[in-house]
């Protein structure tokens, strides 16, 4: 497989909030109504073209769907269900977990109020979620795997944040490096060193 960067993102949130459905919609464009709780670890993949500084990069996304802690993810989609207040109240704990277990004390997180198509069943109002996100310095979007609303956009925003961090911190990028990813990150470092070089 040919790509410039391999980026590993992780989708977290309480059981039933729609993590698998979100990722499935993003990679395959489909939505299923039945609920089959994910057992263990699963991941989906997609290659996208990303524009940065007027250049096009092929980015291979690995989207992890797991209840466990994936410590070396580069960015996080944090989902709660807009029709389930308890899942919103748990967001605070999820943030703490991500801060404790991720590579950075200030990880890149996009908060998604999910199932926004179920307007008549909504229990968390938009202003409340927005205010919370603002106080925690998170991007906030309302998403639906059923209609597809903001699914691509949530990943695009997260990818922007991750790429920005990679470009501005080779150290962080090297921390993330492992296996095949290391090769692409070395390319990134070499490019940055060329930029610093004045000859």
Closest approach, Cβ 38 to Mg ion, in A, equals: 3
Cβ–Cβ under 8 Å, residues 161 and 108: yes
Site string for ligand GTP, 19-38 (x = CB under 6 A): xxx----------xxxx-xx
Sign of CA dihedral 60, 57, 76, 178: positive
From candidates 144, 155, 165, 188, binder to ligand GTP by CB under 6 A:
144
Burial pattern 76-99, b for ≥16 Cβ within 10 A else e, equals: bbbbbbbbbeebbebbeebbeebe
- Give the burial class of 141: count Cβ atoms within 10 A of its Cβ; 0-12 exposed, 13-18 middle, 19 or more buried: buried
Q: Which stretch binds Mg ion (CB under 5 A): 4-12, 35-43, 55-63, 80-88?
A: 35-43
From candidates 3, 27, 31, 38, binder to Mg ion by CB under 5 A:
38
Closest approach, Cβ 9 to ligand GTP, in A, equals: 15
From candidates 16, 44, 122, 169, binder to ligand GTP by CB under 6 A:
16
Distances (CA, A) of 185 to 62, 172, 191: 16, 10, 10
Q: Based on CB atoms, which residue is closest to Mg ion, 38 or 52?
A: 38
From candidates 48, 118, 139, 170, binder to ligand GTP by CB under 6 A:
118
Q: What secondary structure does DSSP assign to 142-174, as a single string? A: EE-TTT-TTHHHHHHHHHHHHHHHHHH-HHHHH
Q: Based on CB atoms, which residue is closest to ligand GTP, 38 or 97?
A: 38
Closest approach, Cβ 24 to ligand GTP, in A, equals: 7
C-alpha to C-alpha distance for 199 and 187, rounded to whole angstroms: 19
Residues lying near ligand GTP in the complex (CB under 6 A) = 15-21, 32-35, 37-38, 67, 114-115, 117-118, 144-146
């Amino acid at each position: 497989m040919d790509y410039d960067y391999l980026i590993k993102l992780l989708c977290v949130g309480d059981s039933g909030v729609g993590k698998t459905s979100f990722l499935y919609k993003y990679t395959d464009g489909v939505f299923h109504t039945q609920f089959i709780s994910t057992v263990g670890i699963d991941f989906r993949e997609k290659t996208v073209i990303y524009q940065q500084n007027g250049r096009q990069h092929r980015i291979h996304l690995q989207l992890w769907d797991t209840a466990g802690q994936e410590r070396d993810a580069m960015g996080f989609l944090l989902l709660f269900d807009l029709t389930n207040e308890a899942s919103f109240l748990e967001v605070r704990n999820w943030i703490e977990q991500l801060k404790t277990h991720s590579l950075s004390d200030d990880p890149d997180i996009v908060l998604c109020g999910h199932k926004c198509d179920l307007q008549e069943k909504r229990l968390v109002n938009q202003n409340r979620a927005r205010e919370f996100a603002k106080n925690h310095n998170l991007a906030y979007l309302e998403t639906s795997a059923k209609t597809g609303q903001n699914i691509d956009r949530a990943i695009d925003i997260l990818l922007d944040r991750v790429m920005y961090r990679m470009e501005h911190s080779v150290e962080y990028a090297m921390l993330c490096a492992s296996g095949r990813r290391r090769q692409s990150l070395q390319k990134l470092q070499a490019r940055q060193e060329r930029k610093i070089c004045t000859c």
